[in-house]
A and B are shown apart, each in its own frame.
Chain A
Amino acid sequence: MANAWREEQITIAGLKVQLLHGGQGAPLLVLHGAGGNHGWLQFHEALAQQFHVYAPSHPGFGTSDRPDWMERVHDLAYFYRWFMDELQLAPLSIIGFSMGAWLAAEMVAMYPALIRRMVLVGAAGMKPAVGEITDIFLLTPEEVLQKQFYDPTQAPEYARLYGSEPTFEQRQIASWNREMAALLTWKPYMYNPKLPALMAQVKTPTLMVWGRQDAIVPLNCGALYQQAIPGSRLVVIDNCGHSPQVEKPQAFLDAVLPFLSAP
């Protein structure tokens, strides 16, 4: 029996925030990437069997307000401190995807005591040792989508997410998401040069999950996180691109659920 999830508009620090949440159990914060919040997906539902999953749209994304002072990823980390306080969620676990994983890394550097466990999926934030993080803003949305998946046919929700022509409202939101993502990540593009030093002090149990064929954030960034964060682990999913949670949801859940459920 599926748990009911719902969408609400809440107010945090004076900002209207779009929040999807559902499930029962310990709180689990899901942080979306630069492309924005794609709604309640299969993997949310699966996680909601064991956790109370919170999937907000970051400030400036979706229908969440955009504060004019916010311009770096660590500014989002301040916001999420207020978010956790307001909803009384701490300590909680986090799953971050891509830019959202970079955000999770900034959060754990700022307030480690509030975070139980952390999962970084195809995480931005680290300057690659080899290669480059794909410049998504220089590509058309279609080209970005093409790079995002290794084999779209194996993604069960691909058609639902990308199969039909977006509505005007969806295109408008996508354009604003892109604008906010560019603001947050423009220079240096998609990484924080201080992150290796910050990650070296992390004691929070951390798991990295990467698609082996990730064509947006190179796999070697996963290795850099693993080297930087003491005791962390890197799970690589074969034949998979930048978004394992959508492209190979079962393999993703098999990697993540035991880690998050550990005492």
Chain B
Amino acid sequence: MVNIYFFTEMPYAEFNEREAEKYPSMRLTFPNTYFDPHKAHVLFRNYYDQYQWAEEVGFDGLMINEHHNTPSCMDVAVNLSAAVLARTTQRAKILLLGNMLPTNDNPVRLAEEVAMADVISGGRVIAGVVRGIGIETWANNTQPNYNRERFEECHDLMLAAWTRPGPFRWEGKHYHFRVINPWVLPLQKPHPPIWVPGTGSPETIEWAAQHRYTYAAFLVPLDATERLYATYRECASAAGYEATAQHFAYMVCCACADTDEKAQELGKHYLWRMGHPLRGPAEYWAPPGYLGERKPLQPGGPIRAGRRPMYTMTYEELQEAYHVVVGSPQTVLEKLSYMQERLGFGSLLLEAQAGAMPHADTMRSLELLGRDVIPQLKKL
């Protein structure tokens, strides 16, 4: 049975998006003088209300993420949002997707924060881990060359902090701690589930499969997702187990309205998140060494080759590619059912708010999804 999650990047779209055209990107170097904290205050309240409402109307989980230096995502600390949701919700899973491991200089503190959120929430945290896009390397000023090494060592240390009785010592390559002995440990044993998102990097899929972690494909075309999932299954077999639906998640932009016409209008807000926030120089997205040591040119490898950047796609093309799914409950149900039957994921992550999508429309969208779509999807 598929589990459905609500997600918003908590965007700040309170300015004329054409301002972004004056700069190389809407990320990293887009001036923060466009930010108004009073407007952000209202937005944050709306977003956290949407999460509470999503739980009330029947979503299984609430997904949160983190980015830096960008109006496309005001959540700059996924563990802060986890703490808020841990206290304002009662039942839903809290999916952190996730903590950026390579840019983190203190994995022990990270382990403590996630453990605390898990304890406050009564064991509802899913501790997703991410490498972070190249831009995060700039924003946090960490060595891009060590991104993957730090990802893996930070993960190993976080896990050790959760599971190995303290005190103990850590002398790694990138992390060194004399006395690891966090008092607050996760409620879930041996530790909260770990998920990993990806958009096509084969190393990430292999790593996820080796660790039996749920792999979440983010806005990946269906045929490419089939290949990614197949790669995961092969790696799982090689590691001596069979991958099941619970190992696969899929993220898509999805909004619902009372009629298809209204939904088509509402869905146009996704063009904001598909536009300027995805545009920018290669130097921002892939700082030197970020893609791996002395990798041949042609980043991304065969799985991503030939894929069109989403910011070049029209609204219609985004819908045809199933990156954006909008419509009446019936239309949305048909499309999501098709995707589920084709891909066989165990979790569906719905980015059900984006850009300047109005709060009231988002709340109605969540209500329709919870009332008319989710129960039907669960019958599949």
Are A179 and B293 neighbours in the complex by a CB distance under 8 Å? yes
Given A168-B297, A178-B288: A137 and B283 within 8 A (CB)?
yes
Contacts A140-B281, A181-B288 given; indicate if A172 touches B141 (C-beta within 8 A).
no
Indicate if A182 sits at the interface (CB-CB under 8 A): yes
Chain A residues, Cβ within 8 Å of B289: 179, 182-183
Chain A 117-140 per-residue mask, 1 if CB under 8 angstroms from chain B, else 0:
000000000000000000001111
Most buried by B among A140, A172, A181, A182: A182
Q: Given that A140-B281, A140-B283 are contacting pairs, would A182 and B145 also be in contact in the complex, using a CB cutoff of 8 Å?
A: yes
Residues of B with C-beta under 8 A to A178:
288
Indicate whether B287 reaches chain A with its CB closer than 8 angstroms: yes
Are A138 and B138 interface neighbours, CB within 8 A? yes
Chain B neighbourhood of A138, CB < 8 A: 138, 283-284
Do B144 and A182 touch across chains, with their CB atoms under 8 A apart?
yes
- Chain B residues lying within 8 Å of A168, measured Cβ to Cβ, are 297
Contacts of B287 in A (CB 8 A): 137, 182
CB neighbors of B among A188-220 (8 A)? none
Interface size on A, residues (CB 8 A): 17
Q: How far does the Cβ of A241 sit from chain B's closest Cβ, in whole Å?
A: 21
By beta carbon, the residue of chain A nearest B144 is: A182
User: Given A168-B297, A171-B297, A179-B145, A137 and B281 touching (CB < 8 A)?
Assistant: no
What's the Cα separation between A179 and B289 when bound, in Å?
Answer: 5
Residues of B292-311 contacting chain A, CB below 8 A? 293-294, 296-297
Q: Which residue of B lies closest to A138 (CB)?
A: B283
Kindly supply a per-residue 1/0 record for chain B positions 220-255, scoring 1 wherever the CB is within 8 Å of any chain A CB and 0 otherwise: 000000000000000000000000000000000000
Q: A176-B294, A186-B143, A187-B143 are in contact. List 17 more A-B contacts (CB 8 A).
A: A137-B283, A138-B138, A138-B283, A140-B283, A171-B297, A172-B297, A175-B288, A175-B297, A178-B288, A179-B288, A179-B293, A179-B294, A182-B144, A182-B287, A182-B289, A183-B289, A186-B141
Interface string of A159-190 (1 = CB under 8 A from B): 00000000010011001101101110011000
- In angstroms, how far is the closest chain B Cβ from the Cβ of A89? 29
Residue on B nearest A171 in the bound complex, by CB = B297
Interface residues of A in 140-163 (CB under 8 A from B): 140
Return the 3 tightest CB-CB contacts between A and B, nearest first. A182-B288, A179-B289, A179-B288
Q: Chain B residues near A66: list those with CB within 8 A.
A: 293-294
Give the docked Cα–Cα distance between A139 and B288 (Å).
Answer: 11
Q: Considering the chains assembled together, what is the distance between the CA atoms of A13 and B19 in angstroms?
A: 54
Identify the closest chain B residue to A139 (Cβ): B283
Complex Cα–Cα for A175 and B145 (A): 13
The residue from A140, A171, A187 contacting B141, defined by CB atoms under 8 A apart:
A187
Assembled-state Cα–Cα distance A138/B24 (Å): 11
Bound: A161/B281 CA distance, A: 24
Give complex CA distance A179, B144 in Å: 9
In contact, A137 and B294 (Cβ under 8 angstroms): no
Q: How far is the CA of A186 from the CA of B282 in the complex (A)?
A: 18
Contacts of B296 in A (CB 8 A): 172
Rounded to whole Å, the gap between the CB of B292 and the closest CB of chain A is 9
Residue of A66, A179, A181, A183 with most partner-chain B CB within 10 A: A179
User: What's the nearest-Cβ distance from chain B to residue A91, in Å?
Assistant: 34
21 pairs, CB–CB < 8 Å, chain A vs chain B: A66-B294, A137-B287, A137-B288, A138-B138, A138-B284, A140-B283, A168-B297, A171-B297, A172-B296, A172-B297, A175-B297, A178-B288, A179-B294, A182-B289, A183-B143, A183-B289, A186-B143, A186-B144, A186-B145, A187-B141, A187-B143
Task: Tell me the smallest distance from the CB of A61 to a CB of chain B, in Å.
Answer: 11
Considering the chains assembled together, what is the distance between the CA atoms of A172 and B287 in angstroms?
A: 15
- B141 (CB) vs chain A CBs: closest residue: A187
Complex Cα distance A176/B283, Å? 14
Q: Chain A contacts of B282 at CB under 8 A?
A: 140
